[in-house]
Structure 1
C-alpha cells in the first residue's frame, strides 16, 4: 500500500503538524507524587517523537489532586512542574514533533474506587460508575468558578512549559461529559436543562484556556460522539454539540465513541475490529469546518483510507504507538513489514494501571516506559545462542539476542513458528496475532537467525553442547481431564480445533471450558463458520481469566452470536450424541453435539526443558509457558529478559 497520504503537513489553527499521524492521549501512571512527570515518561514520549509521529497528545494532566481521582498523570497546579514539562516538550521538538497538553478537571463519576475516599464530584448527584450505591457530589456554582480559574492557571503553566497546543479532556463520560450529557446532568440552574445550558461548562473551559494562552496556541476538544448505550448521547445529538464547540473557539475535534458503560470502546478490544470508531467522522464532517482527528483500532491501512476519504484530517494511533514507536518512520520509508503490531490485548497498558496501579507497559514491547533501562545494545562479547521452541517467548529471545549481535539458532519442532500464538490467531478478530507471528518471521530473517523448522531437539543434540547459552521455550500443552468418553473420535482439544477446522464435523459444537480460549473458539465457530455453539463452564461465569474490559466485548459478541452458555455446570460424560452435563443442583442434561471441543486450560510442557537444564544447568534459562503458564505478554516479557541478559 502507498502510505504517502499520511505524510503531508496539515494545520490546526496556527500550528502546522508535519504529518497526519497523532499519538492518542493515554495515561502512563508514572508521574511522581508531587505532580511532576518522571524521567521514564519523558523518554517514552521522546521515543515516539523520534519515531516520526507528527503530534503527541500526552495523557491527561489534572487541575489539582482533589479533582483528579484517577491514575497519576501529572498535576498542573504549581509552577514547579514546568521544568520537567519543558524537558518533555523540547525532547519531542528535537525530532520535529508537535506536543499537546491534555488537561482534565477529573474523572467525576468514573473515578476508580481504589483512588478516592469521599464520593466523587460530578455535575449532579448521579450514581458512581463503579459503585452505583454511592451518589456523586454535585459541583456548586462557586466550585465551578474555581475550576475555571484553575483551567486558566493550568493552561498558563502549559504555555510556559512550551506546549504547542492544549486539549480539553471531555471524553468517555468524564466530568466535562457529565455536564454535557442529559443522562448525567440533572441540574436545574444555568448549567443544566437545555443543551445550551449543559454546554456552558465546556464552553467556559474553552474561554478560560483561550484567555490564558491567546490565539497562537490552538485548543482541541476530545469528545465521544456516540455513547453506545441506551440513554446515552447519540451521534445525531452530538452534531449540535460540535457546532456549539466550533462557535466557542475550539480549533479541532478529537472524536470517537464510547463511555464507561461501553468501556470496551474506551480501550477498544480485538473483538471490535479495525477502525471501529471511524464511522463518527463522516457525519461530523458535514457539520463543522475545523480539523477532525479520529482514533480507535486504526491500522496503517485504515489510516490511509480515512485520510483519503476526506472525513478526517488526522488519524490517531494509541496502543499501536506503544507497541512500535517507530511506526510512522517505518511507513514513511516503505518498511511496513517492520511495523510491530499492537495485539489489542489491553493486558500490559491499561490493564497494568487499572489492576495493579503500576505504570504502563506493553505485551509485545517490553521497553515501554523503560526505554533507557532496557535499551538493546550490541554485545562486546558475541556468543553462540540456542533457542529451543518458536512460540512468543522463544521468538522474542531470539530476536533480542540477534539484535545484540549474537549468533542464534532457533529450533522449532512444528513446520511453522508461533506456537500457541499461531493457533489463537485463526479467528478474524485475532488477526493482529497473525500479524505478530509474521512480524517475528520477518525480523528473524532480517537478523540472520538460523530458524530450523520441523526439528525436534533432544538432550544429545550437538548444538546444545556447542552453545554458550541455551534458552528453552517449549511452551505448554492442554490439561488432560479424566472424563468418560474424552478419547472419542468426535472430541478435539481447543488447539487442534483452531488449527484443523476440517476436523470439526457437523453443525452443533459443544465447548467444554469457558475460559478465554474456549470463548474465542466459540466466537470463531459461531460468527465465522456458522456453527451452533454451546459453552459449558464449571465456574459461575465465563471468561473469568479475562480482564473486564475485554470481557465486556466477549459477552456482547456471545449474545450477538446466539451462543448457549451453561455456567456452574460440569461435564460428566462425552458420547457419540454429545455431552452430559451436571448442574449445580445435581440435575443432569444431555446437550447434542456433532463435535466436542475441550478447553480445560493449559499446563507447562517442561519435560525437555528440565532435562536440558539438568545437563547444562550453568548455561540454560527456561522461559515462557515452559516456566510458568501465562499469556502472550508474560511469554514475550520472559523471552525479552532472557535475550537482554546475555
Structure 2
C-alpha cells in the first residue's frame, strides 16, 4: 500500500507510538471555568483516537488561570481535574492511541484582547502584540521560581492522570518563546542576553518536569524554528537553541515556523499552501538526533515524503483530523477518496474561539466537539426526500438524510454539482474546495442518492407533490447595483469559471470582499494580470477573518495588487471606472476588464413559493435563507438532514 511507511511504529523515549501520524495540539475552548475539561472534549479526542491516529497532543493545559489569558482550556493546578483527564487518556488508550499533555505557562504578549484582563506577563516589558502602546508585565525572578514549582505540580497531575508524554508549549511567540528570542527578551539578568541565558527559562522548565516524571514520560518541546518576520528568530539562529534543548534532556521536538507577527502560519490558511512549514526539517535534522515532528497543512502525500525521506519521524495533522477523524484508518486501507478534506478556512475552528469565544467546531464537519449531541440516528420511518440545489448546503442535507436511511433525490438546475463551492474552487490555492465537491459526489454515489442535473424545479413540478420532505438550497445571485454601465462588467462568478471573458492585461475588481480578493489573487498569481481592487469601505477584506486576511494582504503585496478604498464606483466605462471618494471628488481608474464583486443576495423566490404551497414539510437552507459562508451552508444542511 502506498502509505505503509506512515503505519510503522516509532518510539520517543519509552513511549512507542503505533504509527507516524500525530494530532497537532489545538485548543477547543470547551473546558469548565474551574479548569476541568468538559465531556465534549473527551468525546472529541476519543473520536480522533478511534479514527486511528497514533499520538494525540491535547491543546495546552495552563499552570494557573492568572498566567493563562488564553482560550478556555484545562488548568493543571488542582488535583480535582485528574478524573476527567483520566477519562480522556483511557478513552484514547481504548483505541491504541497514545496521548500527550501539553503544558503552558501562558500566552504572554500574545493574549487576545477579548481574553485579557490585566496586561499580560512576558519576559520583559515589551509591547503587547495587539496594542504596542500597552507594555507587558515583566516576570520577576521570584515569579520565575514559582512557575518552575508549578510546572512540577502540573507534571505530577498529568502523570497521575495517566498521560503517555508531556509537551512544553514554547511555540510561536508565546511566553516561553518570549524568553528564548532576543526580539522580545531584553533582560539584563541571567535570563537574558546570550543564547545560554535566554534558554535558561525553558531548560529550567525541562528540569522541573523531569524532576517529577524522570524517564517514565518523554518530554516533547514545541518550538517555531523560523519566526518569518524581520527581527524575529531565523531558522539558522534556532539551531543553537535546539541543541541546547537536546542537551537539557528533551526527548523530541515538535517543529514548524511562524509567530503572531505571521499569524497565518500559526493557523495555516488556504493561501499558505501544502506542507508550508516542512522546510524547517532538513536543517533541524543536521543539528539534533532526537525525534522530530512537523506540522503545517500536510497532505497524505507530503506526510509520506516527510517520513519516507527521513525529514522528520512524525507527520502532524491538526484541522484535517477535525474535518475527518477517520483519515488515518482510511489512509491505512488505501481509501483516500473517502477522506473528507479540510478546506483550511479557519472559520469554525480557531475562528469560533477567537472571535466568538465559543468552542471549536468545523466548517465541513459540524459534529466536531459535539460528537455525542449531534450523532446521527436511523430514521424511525423512511421518507421520500427532495433536495433542490446541489450547493454545499443541499449536498450535506442529502448526505445526512441518506445516512439516516431516507430515500433522497437531488435536483440541480446546472450541469454539475457544487454551486458556489465549485465556483470558488478555481484558484489553485482553493484546491481543497474542489476536493470537497468531489468528496460530496462520491458520498452521494455511495449512498445511492439520485442526482438530477440540468433540472430546474418549478412550483408545479410533480416531484414536489410526491415528496414527504422538501429541502431547498437554491443559493444566491450576484448583486447588480444601479450603476451607469453595469452591463459593461462581468460578474465575479463568470470571472472564476470563464477566463476567456477577461480581456486585456489590467483588471478592475469592484468589491473587496472574500470573493473579490480570491479572484484578484487568482488572476494576478496564475494569469499574470495587473489587478486593482476598488472598495467603498475603508478597508479591503472587511468580512474576512483576520488570520486569513493576513495571508490575503501578504499576497496583495507579493503580486502587486492595488487597493483603492473609500472609493464608490459611480460609473463603469469601456476602459475603466469612475470612482467618488467621501468628499465627492471623482477620478478615473483605468482598466481593460471590469469585474463586479458587489456581493450576493438570496435566491429564494421559488423557495418561498414552495414553502407557501407545502408549508408543513419544506425546509429552506444555506444562502437561500441567509447569505453566509461555506460553513453556514453545510451546518444548515446537516441540521435539515438530521431532523427529518
TM-score bucket (shorter structure): over 0.9
Give the SS at the match of 2:224. strand
2:502 equivalent among 501, 504, 507: 504
CA distance in 1, matches of 2:640, 2:562: 43
Give the SS at the match of 1:132. strand
Measured after TM superposition, the shift of residue 305 of structure 1 is 1.3
- Other-structure match for 1:620: 618
Q: Is the 2:575–2:593 contact (alpha carbons within 8 Å) kept by the matching residues of 1?
A: no
> What's the CA shift string for 1:371-390, capped at 9, x where partnerless?
00111122121111000000
Aligned length: 644
Give the SS at the match of 2:220. strand
- Other-structure match for 1:581: 579
Give the SS at the match of 1:387. strand
Give the SS at the match of 1:212. helix
- Other-structure match for 2:352: 352
- Other-structure match for 1:390: 390
CA distance in 2, matches of 1:393, 1:144: 52
CA distance in 2, matches of 1:560, 1:110: 26
Q: Is the 2:69–2:117 contact (alpha carbons within 8 Å) kept by the matching residues of 1?
A: no
Q: Is the 2:61–2:73 contact (alpha carbons within 8 Å) kept by the matching residues of 1?
A: yes
CA distance in 1, matches of 2:204, 2:117: 28
Equivalent residue runs for 1:188-227 within 5 Å: 188-227=188-227
Measured after TM superposition, the shift of residue 584 of structure 1 is 3.0
CA distance in 1, matches of 2:281, 2:447: 41
CA distance in 2, matches of 1:505, 1:569: 23
Measured after TM superposition, the shift of residue 585 of structure 1 is 3.5
- Other-structure match for 2:631: 633
Measured after TM superposition, the shift of residue 583 of structure 1 is 2.5
Give the SS at the match of 1:222. strand
2:600 equivalent among 592, 599, 602: 602
CA distance in 1, matches of 2:39, 2:502: 53
Measured after TM superposition, the shift of residue 292 of structure 1 is 0.4
> What's the CA shift string for 1:273-322, capped at 9, x where partnerless?
10110100010001000000000011111111111121100000000000
Gaps of at least 5 residues in structure 1 are: none
- Other-structure match for 1:572: 570
CA distance in 2, matches of 1:213, 1:78: 18
Q: Which moved more, 1:497-506 or 1:404-413?
A: 497-506
Give the SS at the match of 2:253. strand
CA distance in 2, matches of 1:135, 1:533: 40
CA distance in 1, matches of 2:304, 2:25: 21
CA distance in 1, matches of 2:397, 2:182: 52
Q: Which moved more, 1:115-124 or 1:366-375?
A: 115-124
> What's the CA shift string for 1:340-384, capped at 9, x where partnerless?
000011111001100110000000000011100111122121111
- Other-structure match for 1:90: 90
Query: How large is the Cα RMSD of the aligned pairs?
Result: 0.8
Give the SS at the match of 1:603. strand
Equivalent residue runs for 1:374-413 within 5 Å: 374-413=374-413
- Other-structure match for 1:248: 248
Q: Which moved more, 1:590-599 or 1:312-321?
A: 590-599
Equivalent residue runs for 1:45-64 within 5 Å: 45-64=45-64
Measured after TM superposition, the shift of residue 574 of structure 1 is 1.1
Give the SS at the match of 2:422. helix
Q: Is the 2:480–2:486 contact (alpha carbons within 8 Å) kept by the matching residues of 1?
A: no
2:550 equivalent among 549, 552, 556: 552
CA distance in 2, matches of 1:531, 1:131: 36
CA distance in 1, matches of 2:130, 2:581: 31
Equivalent residue runs for 1:108-257 within 5 Å: 108-257=108-257
CA distance in 2, matches of 1:250, 1:178: 19
Measured after TM superposition, the shift of residue 117 of structure 1 is 2.0
CA distance in 1, matches of 2:280, 2:468: 56
Equivalent residue runs for 1:409-420 within 5 Å: 409-420=409-420
CA distance in 1, matches of 2:618, 2:584: 50
> What's the CA shift string for 1:227-263, capped at 9, x where partnerless?
0111100000000000000000000000000111111
Measured after TM superposition, the shift of residue 494 of structure 1 is 0.4
Measured after TM superposition, the shift of residue 588 of structure 1 is 2.1
Measured after TM superposition, the shift of residue 400 of structure 1 is 0.2
- Other-structure match for 1:74: 74
- Other-structure match for 1:326: 326
> What's the CA shift string for 1:456-515, capped at 9, x where partnerless?
101111111111100000011101111111112xx2100111011111111111111111
Structure 1 stretches of at least 4 aligned residues deviating more than 4 Å after TM superposition: none
Q: Which moved more, 1:583-592 or 1:424-433?
A: 583-592
CA distance in 2, matches of 1:508, 1:357: 42
- Other-structure match for 2:511: 513
CA distance in 2, matches of 1:625, 1:116: 35
- Other-structure match for 2:280: 280
> What's the CA shift string for 1:65-97, capped at 9, x where partnerless?
111111111000001100000000000000000
CA distance in 2, matches of 1:203, 1:393: 50
Measured after TM superposition, the shift of residue 573 of structure 1 is 1.1
The two structures have a TM-score, normalised by structure 1, of: 0.99
Equivalent residue runs for 1:407-486 within 5 Å: 407-486=407-486
CA distance in 1, matches of 2:59, 2:439: 29
